[in-house]
Structure 1
């Protein structure tokens, strides 16, 4: 019994030592924080910058966020196309940290912004006059008016592709692999744990992928309109029929003419549902659906309403699938 107790105590000390030796990791947004937390399970806990119901599209850094970035050994973010607010703080505060831009991960499927049909074009604004504000925000979905600095600091940093990459589970696996590789290189003592956690995470994502495909199979051909064009990867992977968006960039609210145009398109396309997002004004969806047969629902592509942690990615993807099914089936 004494030998077993000593062995247990030794094991606990080794675990505590490994956790203490883990790098200080900071992650920008909830979906990739969830992936990082899964890879670091049993080793350490990554810190999250965009907490609670905040959106990376409109986020402003707080002093506590700046301190976290300054003290980080490693920072994971999507890149300037998603978190424009983080570009300058990383340059100023994270000079000693390893910064991993996950929109550069190997094996990603990347889709260009859409500018046709019922999707708002990038080249003009709602009212047809004044191009500067509309083009800046829509060409750069992560643009934040509070971030400071001229718009061109963020303009077309990495080409015109949609940065909501995690909504394709295969992209999530590619980013998880990049996270595991970076952590193992920075912290070789815990490399085996990171590798084992990646295997476990990939298995969970594969099971989730099958579950979601089965959930939405009965309704995936029904037309729907989303609040902003954030769901291409989900659509592309699962064959969902999104026929338009109210706005391309959620930080730029559409004008009255755009709202009327979308309402007409909802009627013309016989859209079954129009979806809001929890961080933004839901009354806008009521205006768009008024006088149409479309139902309304809510989708949360960034996990604003969900609790951060290793399960968030799975909760996020399931919530999109179940909310799509509920609205499109009329449940």
Structure 2
């Protein structure tokens, strides 16, 4: 009996291995997007994550294994160089033969403009809602004279971006002067250790120039609505590359979209008792979440993802906290915790840690919903 079962078991194992081996090689930039791709690929294959949890997506030096994942990729999914400016050159150089999907450029994605100033007013959210209703058509109507060029952005059309960037990693991804961290590979740095020199030209005020990489806020994954749009796009791209598993990809995407609807309802219920509370975030990354759940922040300590706020900005935030009785100031694990202590000095506001990247979560299909859930729990617990 054992002899008869053994060949069957081996055959089954080989077939299973072949199914995984036949799945496309997929590379994804950050953990939340990787989670969406992993959910669509569930049961078929596993995508590779390029920027590991805890690392800053804005400044990163590829490890050899991550460079190899890009080089071997059949498909690449990334948000775009607004979030990971260094990755444009890496994708163009290493993923030369891959189908590259830039999610921020995809049809149906709702994009929001960066907000200006340390303090957010109510009318700003109305403006964002109007922009959001335009869906991707609104994106097409915005001038990208600075660096984006045509919205007919092909998978590998990074030439214009490469010309505009002075910090291209190069073909061998050597650690250049702008991105080197001490030993050349200190990827998991805190915000206070970031190289601020390349942002110095943007530090003249609280305006748009602080952001440096375009007019649109790139943190679009914090909208479950955008995530739902991307699930279908991910399934379509995977199915095109791997028609034999198209049914599984689209079935997974449909189930995940239903789960996303349930997640949104769950988060709305979690936030309901805290409505009316006021909070300030470390940097302005959360307006997609705020708009989705109608839960606006009162301000941000820092507009830029990679620069510390000026003393004048900190004083402005402290004044707002004291004068308006702000309930909560939220820190982030990637940034300088000492600044939060300074901001809270002399106030009665609570504090908590909110994480838009899921740094402490295991990468995989479950990361995205848990990330959104954790953000809601942090907000509700702080207010």
TM-score by length of 2: 0.74
Aligned counterparts, 1:21-36, within 5 A: 21-36=22-37
Deviation at 1:261, TM superposition (A): 1.4
Aligned counterparts, 1:180-219, within 5 A: 180-219=235-274
Q: Indicate whether 1:132 and 2:132 are aligned.
A: no
Which residue of 254, 275, 287 corresponds with 2:309? 254
Deviation at 1:62, TM superposition (A): 2.5
What is the aligned partner in structure 1 of residue 90 from structure 2? Answer: 89
Deviation at 1:312, TM superposition (A): 0.4
Query: Secondary structure at 2:265's aligned position in 1?
Result: helix
Cα deviation digits, residues 28-51 of structure 1 (max 9, x gap): 000000000000011111000111
**Which runs of 4 or more aligned residues in structure 1 lie more than 3 Å from their structure 2 counterparts after TM superposition?**
1-15, 135-141
Alpha-carbon distance change, 135 to 311 in structure 1, aligned in 2, over 3 angstroms: farther
Q: Indicate whether 1:16 and 2:71 are aligned.
A: no
Deviation at 1:73, TM superposition (A): 1.0
Query: Secondary structure at 2:285's aligned position in 1?
Result: coil
CA distance in 1, matches of 2:51, 2:297: 27
Query: Secondary structure at 1:84's aligned position in 2?
Result: coil
Deviation at 1:119, TM superposition (A): 5.2
Q: Is the 8 A contact 1:81 1:140 kept in 2?
A: no
- Range moving further from structure 2, 52-61 or 167-176: 52-61
CA distance in 1, matches of 2:14, 2:209: 51
Q: Is the 8 A contact 2:103 2:230 kept in 1?
A: yes
Aligned counterparts, 1:204-283, within 5 A: 204-283=259-338
What is the aligned partner in structure 2 of residue 169 from structure 1? Answer: 224
Deviation at 1:134, TM superposition (A): 2.6
CA distance in 1, matches of 2:298, 2:9: 58
Q: Is the 8 A contact 2:231 2:253 kept in 1?
A: yes
Aligned counterparts, 1:115-126, within 5 A: 115-116=116-117, 118=119
CA distance in 2, matches of 1:216, 1:26: 34
Query: Secondary structure at 1:275's aligned position in 2?
Result: strand
Query: Secondary structure at 2:232's aligned position in 1?
Result: helix
What is the aligned partner in structure 2 of residue 69 from structure 1? Answer: 70
Query: Secondary structure at 2:110's aligned position in 1?
Result: coil
Structure 2 unaligned regions, length at least 5: 122-198
- Range moving further from structure 2, 46-55 or 25-34: 46-55
Give the root-mean-square deviation of aligned CA atoms: 2.5
Deviation at 1:322, TM superposition (A): 0.4
Aligned counterparts, 1:292-331, within 5 A: 292-328=347-383
CA distance in 2, matches of 1:308, 1:72: 19
Q: Is the 8 A contact 1:18 1:190 kept in 2?
A: no
Q: Is the 8 A contact 1:278 1:305 kept in 2?
A: no
What is the aligned partner in structure 2 of residue 148 from structure 1? Answer: none
Q: Is the 8 A contact 2:39 2:365 kept in 1?
A: yes
Count residues with an aligned counterpart.
304
Q: Is the 8 A contact 2:282 2:302 kept in 1?
A: yes
What is the aligned partner in structure 1 of residue 102 from structure 2? Answer: 101
Deviation at 1:65, TM superposition (A): 1.9
CA distance in 1, matches of 2:118, 2:316: 11
Deviation at 1:138, TM superposition (A): 5.8
CA distance in 2, matches of 1:135, 1:117: 14
Deviation at 1:116, TM superposition (A): 4.2
What is the aligned partner in structure 1 of residue 43 from structure 2? Answer: 42
Structure 1 unaligned regions, length at least 5: 121-129, 144-154
